[in-house]
Amino acid sequence: MNWARVEKKPGFYEFSGPRRAYKDLLDEDKNKLTLVINWGNPLYDNGHTPQSKKALNALEAYTKEVIGRFPVIETLEVGNEFNGRNFVRGPLEKMAPLERSQAYLKMLKAASQGARAGRADIRILGGATHSLPGSWLWKIMDSGGGKWMDAVAIHPYSTPAEQFTRQMAVLRWHPSLKDMPFEVTEFGTDSVKSAGNHLVKNYCQFALAGVTKAMWFPANLRGRRTVPLFTPNGRLTSAGLAYRTVAKHMEGKVVTDISEDQFTYGCKFGNNTYVIWGAARPFKLGDAAQVFDLSGKPVSSPPESLDPETPIIVISDSDTPFTLGELPLIADSYYQFSYPEKNAHKAEGDGFDRFAKEGKKTVPLLTMPGQDRPNVPWVPWRGHPDHKGIRLTAETLLPSTSKDIVHVFTAEHPQDITLTAHFKPGKKSEDGVIVRLSRNGEPLLEERASHDNPVEIQRKPLSMKSGDTLEIVVAAGKSQRGDLTRYRITLERATTQTQ
């Protein structure tokens, strides 16, 4: 609801017309509304995001009026993706993110005070972030922002479902966020093919991470590519069908993590509903169990293997709804990507040692909280505060002209393994990246990867003795420009003759 439409004369509020009074049409017993308050009003600060004392006082008064007027509003979300520039106006657009966080605090305080004066039981959402920027949220909490909110609002568009709980765990390193509820007030995808998968997988991981409410965006077409819940003629999309399935079988139920290892992801909702996906391995449905597709329809022929993209939904009252077969995977750079705590160099359970190397000097890749400086991810990532040109996430890596990004696997016992790896620099890479593979220091491969000619490695099988190392190095060429590289490294048990 646009402030400028409601208050056209200072101190006078007009709520007539469908765009302002639509909330009166909602049955309070059946509907609860989360209202986002953002933008400014031309009456104050030239319509820019309010910052002057006069504008903030007016915002407080307006918020009090709105919340007192409409009891159907259960929650007030203050700001929208405030850590970016798209939804602020005026001087705030030029501020660095962490500086803007302090400007946001003024608006959060004013709106929160007004809302609580309008109705004491109103729920306040603060933070207002796109993605999961730890530095932004930590700065707000360090400045006392927790006093003015009941939960944190996030839009985790840039976080894959498999990485969500790990990134949230980093955010919760801050004492004020340890037990703070989080609400996902927007999530979605522009992929029609994977929209249902995206919704169900994320719902599972949201629940495990302590998210108390999740809102798919959008409900209907908004002139964007993001898949809505409804088509223009009112039919449910694949996302809408999955949404209905979640609401029927999972919403409001106690969730339990049923992941057996880092390569498998799953949730048990209540006593009988299971969601599971992950690295390929045999899947066998138990007796008295039923598999449903994402639209909620029973599946006559249950899958025989887990799938990394499509979650399996099982409903069963049995203690053994399904069993999983042996997993061929030994290590995986994506599934096992984690964040070392404090200044640790390696995350617990990671199948790889991950670090940067400058000549013979090793540079640890530490956990960086996200949006801690310009031109870095808005989610937790790995790098080093003293070496700003290098970066590592679960999906991308960036070497510098002086520092290579290195993954090392060390065999714990004699084994034959198959290596599969993929490296693809961005379109703007000037001279690509160089990929090197060695075993116990002995070179096995060196290739240059470009966007049009990515490096694809399939070495099978490799014989490894106990303590042997396999080292994969990615180095920049003469230029680092555009070298952000998508990558994936997996190791599996080999079944054929060794090399």
- Per-residue pLDDT of 112-171, as tens digits, reads 999 999 999 999 999 999 999 999 999 999 999 999 999 999 999 999 999 999 999 999
Which regions of the chain are under pLDDT 50? Answer: 497-499
Q: Which residues contact 304 (CB under 8 A, 6 or more apart)?
A: 282, 283, 284
Dihedral pair phi/psi, residue 439, rounded to 5°: -120, 120
Maximum Cα–Cα distance for the chain, whole Å? 82
Q: Hey, is 188 helix, strand or coil?
A: coil
Alpha-carbon distances, residue 149 vs 109, 131, 337, 407, 480 (angstroms) = 9, 19, 32, 41, 42
DSSP labels, 449-492: E-SSS-EEEEEEEEEE-TT-EEEEEEEE-S--TT--EEEEEEEE
Answer yes or no: are the C-beta atoms of 457 and 491 closer than 8 Å: no
Q: Which amino acid is at 399?
A: P
Q: What DSSP element (H or E) covers 313? A: strand 312-316
Alpha-carbon span 171 to 210, nearest angstrom: 12
Alpha-carbon span 108 to 381, nearest angstrom: 28
Please classify residue 69 by burial: count the beta carbons closer than 10 Å to its beta carbon, then call 0-12 exposed, 13-18 middle and 19+ buried.
middle
pLDDT given at position 496? 53
Alpha-carbon span 94 to 471, nearest angstrom: 43
pLDDT given at position 427? 95
Tokens of 149: 């909110």
The answer for 146, left when phi > 0, alpha when psi is -120 to 50, beta otherwise, is alpha
